[in-house]
Structure 1
Amino acid sequence: MILTILLIVFAIIVFIQFIYYIFIFGKFSFGKKTEGTPKRLPISIIVCAKNEEENIKKYFQTLVTQNYPDYEIVLIDDASSDETLELFESYEKQYANVKLVKVQNNEAFWGNKKFALTLGIKAAKNEYLVFTDADCYPASNDWLLQISTQFTKEKTIVLGYGAYEKVKNSFLNKIIRFETMLTATQYFSWAKIGKPYMGVGRNLAYKKEEFFNVRGFMDHMKIRSGDDDLFINQAATKKNTAILYTPESFTFSEPKTTFSSWVYQKRRHATTAKFYKGFDKFQLGLFFFSQFWFLVLAIVLLAFQFQWMIVTGIIVFRYLFSWISLGYAAGKLKEKDVMYWYPIIEIVLIFTQLSVFFRNLISKPLHWK
């Protein structure tokens, strides 16, 4: 009797997964790309840095050489203790379109990136803002041009894809890139449905008026993380949000090279999710719930060899539709190679998420250097 109930629950879990992978994620995976026309909108690139001297040396040229007619670069130094400020000062003297914002340690907002970003946004002369991190670089010189295609009178927020570099012969790298691809598939899909809930600060754009419409970061200023996802969770709507995933519009970052450092990064990111809107927390929680219990119930039912042919058929069906859906998404985001390892990576991610959840209950990770 108990095993029969577990089999029914297992089937329900797989049905929930089917809804997610085919009808929700399918909005992105199988949907047509939204074309746009390049525009000549004045744009301000916003880069906030704290002790990023080496990354700035490596990546600044990718920003200053964009194939775009009208843009400025707002460089924000958040009280760095290395040579970041000196580099920024030299760039401001060298390039006419570079503006420097110096942030002094403030007792009320010490170490808070949102305070530094607010000063940079207010200093930007242009209405259209494009955000990236100091340790990121755009995939092409047409990055800004691609972003401009998605801005319209109605669409004032653009969610981009922040990818990680590929590292040969690294399974950790495949895990990181798969997780990044899956996350993007989720927030792109929900945005297409009309329920945008997050974006990534490595590749994000919005009109300045959207920032002031929600009082900037004031509603979550005390939360150290979330200058990207919490802001989007608050400001983005069905009407004002567009997505962009052309390869020329990607940004890239160097991935973590140790499992512990990657888990710590995930712990920092996870601290903001509990502040999302109720529906967004529910849909994210339900997806993870279905992933976890699919794995557990599959193992239990197979271990008892209960209706093993039916169970095996359900498992094969589940991997078939999920592999197809994520495979199409991975193709659009140029991450196809990670799909060869999909079942193994998924298991690793499930237990990593559990570990992150319980470890964050015990102690909170630090934010912003």
Structure 2
Amino acid sequence: MATVLFALFLLFAAINLSYFIAFFSFSGSRSSEAKPVTFPVSVIVCAKNEAENLQNFLPSILEQDYPDFEVIVINDASADHTLDIIEEFQQIDPRIKIVNVENNEAFWANKKYALTLGIKKAQNEHLVFTDADCAPQSIHWLRHMASGFSEEKTIVLGYGGYFQYKKSFINKLIRFETLLTAIQYFSYAKLGNPYMGVGRNLAYTSGQFYKLNGFASHLQIRSGDDDLFVNEAATNKNVVVCDHKESITRSVPKTSISKWFRQKRRHASVAKFYKSKHKLLLGLFYTSRLLFWILLIILLVFKIYWPFTLGVLGLTLIIEGIVYFQSAKKLDEKDVIWLFPILEPFLILSQLGIFIANIISKPSHWK
């Protein structure tokens, strides 16, 4: 029995390591560079009850060093003063275009409906998306995202991180999980198998949008305006990764484990609609990590081949640490790396809890 447990431990360790070796395709690559581009761009921001965030973060979009862009701000049936704030900004800056969405019984609380109206309002072919609680971390953000476009590349994947607030465990966990997610979808894209993007920092052409008939194939699913769209539209030829530090956006993170847990439940509920190959690869990655840690604990508690077990653990942590460190350096998340041996098992347990919770009940969606 002991030999079987150790053999299974080695198997799942090997699977886990194979993934992280594949992740070198992103972590070990050179960061993208901005090219000189001047074509007009439409920035699209969807806001629902985001009056305060728009006041804080919309100026960072308007201050972008880019020659020709408009900003489509969508008021998605807000109950606060979101529309008033947008109108105040529009009086100051005519580049702002307003889309005011009223509640529609057929599409109530559906962000995809609001985004579709915003895309139809846009005057330009090249669309860059972010959220109302997001702030570009450089005045060159838009230039970097736009420079990813070419005749062949119609989808640009950016990094949407979170602000570092108090030195709390939950803040580090959120940012570590966001980093790991980015490592995965950037690496898959680099290897010619893109599967998702995040709406906090994403770009695609209107031609790509209309080619798929917009969000029609998954309009009935409340979430997934970003990852489900990319999962359906992306190929090994039309996606490019934009990972320069100046291309990063950051948004306001959740401040409690319960709020973050609910948010991740919504995100996880969408993954079951991914293409089968992506569900298989992502499921195997999570399963190998979960069983690796479970078997590790069993082997160490019962002192089964414990010197070899510790050796495998050491090798795993070294390989993972290199990937995490290189990626965090590129995406400016270095402060979370030193805790990854603690954050990783905690994240795995959280993901298991999310999976079980979603089986028991459906998560809530766009507020």
Give the TM-score of the pair, scaled to structure 2: 0.98
- Which secondary structure does the structure 1 equivalent of 2:105 belong to? coil
- Partner Cα distance (2:106, 2:167) in 1: 46
Distance 2:151 2:160 in 1: 25
Q: In structure 2, what is the equivalent of residue 302 of structure 1?
A: 300
Taking the aligned partners of 1:318 and 1:251, their CA distance within structure 2 comes to 31
Query: Which of residues 350, 353, 364 in structure 1 aligns to 2:351?
Result: 353
Letter in 2 for 1:39: V
Separation of aligned partners in 2, 1:325 and 1:361: 32
Equivalent residue runs for 1:258-277 within 5 Å: 258-277=256-275
Matched, 1:177 2:175: yes
Residue in structure 2 matched with residue 202 of structure 1 by the alignment: 200
Contact in 1 for aligned 2:31/2:330 (Cα 8 Å): no
In structure 2, give the amino acid aligned to 1:4.
Answer: T
Moved more, 213-222 or 301-310: 301-310
Aligned to 2:70: 72
C-alpha displacement at 1:94, in angstroms?
A: 2.7
Distance of 2:89 and 2:308 partners within structure 1: 65
In the alignment, structure 1 residue 120 sits paired with structure 2 residue 118: yes
Amino acid at match of 2:284: L
- Match for 1:304: what amino acid? F
Structure 1 portions without partners, runs of 5+: none
User: Superposed, which structure 2 residues align to 1:61-100 within 5 Å?
Assistant: 61-100=59-98
Letter in 1 for 2:223: S
The one-letter amino acid paired with 1:18 is L
Deviations 1:53-100 (A, max 9, x none): 111111111111111110000011111111111222232333221111
**Alpha-carbon displacement from aligned partner over 1:166-204 (angstroms, at most 9, x marks no partner):** 124211111111111000000000000001100000000
| Gap regions ≥5 residues in structure 2 | none
Stretch deviating more after TM superposition (31-40 or 151-160): 31-40
Residues 111-134 of structure 1: CA deviation (Å, up to 9, x unaligned):
100000001001100000000001
Counterpart check, 1:216 vs 2:214: yes
The residue that corresponds to 2:37 in the other structure is: 39
Q: Which amino acid aligns with 2:15?
A: I
**146-155 or 39-48: bigger deviation:** 146-155
Q: What percent identity do the matched residue pairs reach?
A: 51
**Superposed counterparts of 1:138-153, under 5 Å:** 138-153=136-151
**Bigger shift: residues 315-324 or 120-129:** 315-324
Please tell me whether the aligned partners of residues 38 and 148 of structure 1 are also in contact (alpha carbons under 8 angstroms).
Answer: no
| Runs of 4+ that moved beyond 6 A | none
Match of 1:15 in 2: 14
- TM-score, structure 1 as length reference: 0.97
Distance 1:35 1:140, change over 3 A: closer
Count of aligned positions: 367
Asked if the contact 1:38–1:146 (Cα under 8 Å) also holds between the matched residues in 2, the reply is no
CA drift of 1:36 comes to 4.5
1:290 Cα deviation after fit: 0.7
**Quick one: structure 1 residues 167 and 36, their matched pair in 2 at CA, closer, same or farther if it must change by over 3 Å?**
closer
Separation in 2 of the partners of 1:364 and 1:197? 23
